Amino acid sequence: MKAKKLIEYNDLVAEYKLSDGDIIYLEKKNTKAPRGFTLHQVKAGESMHSISQIYGIRLKNLYKLNRQSADYVPEVGTLLRVR
């Protein structure tokens, strides 16, 4: 797989260095979470990107589902829509 596709599928920037435990996708992510998941409560250390990786949602769609701009940083305890 080309690095460009891996970067695209995982909403990364070219300079990002993968770490142990990172969730990565080898194909395009979905527009919303699988059935059964509707809300996510933000925990310490989570970002919009990490939440999008947990549920396999495109980052731009996670922002859109929650009516937030790309510079939004969720606070611990916030409930985010994932579906």
Q: Does the model's pTM come out above 0.85?
A: yes
Alpha carbon separation from 52 to 37, 49 (Å, rounded): 13, 5
pLDDT at 38: 97
d(CA 61, CA 59): 5
pLDDT at 40: 98
Mean pLDDT value across the chain: 96
pLDDT tens track for 12-51 = 999 999 999 999 999 999 999 999 999 999 999 999 999 9
- The radius of gyration computed from the CA coordinates of the chain, to the nearest angstrom, equals 13
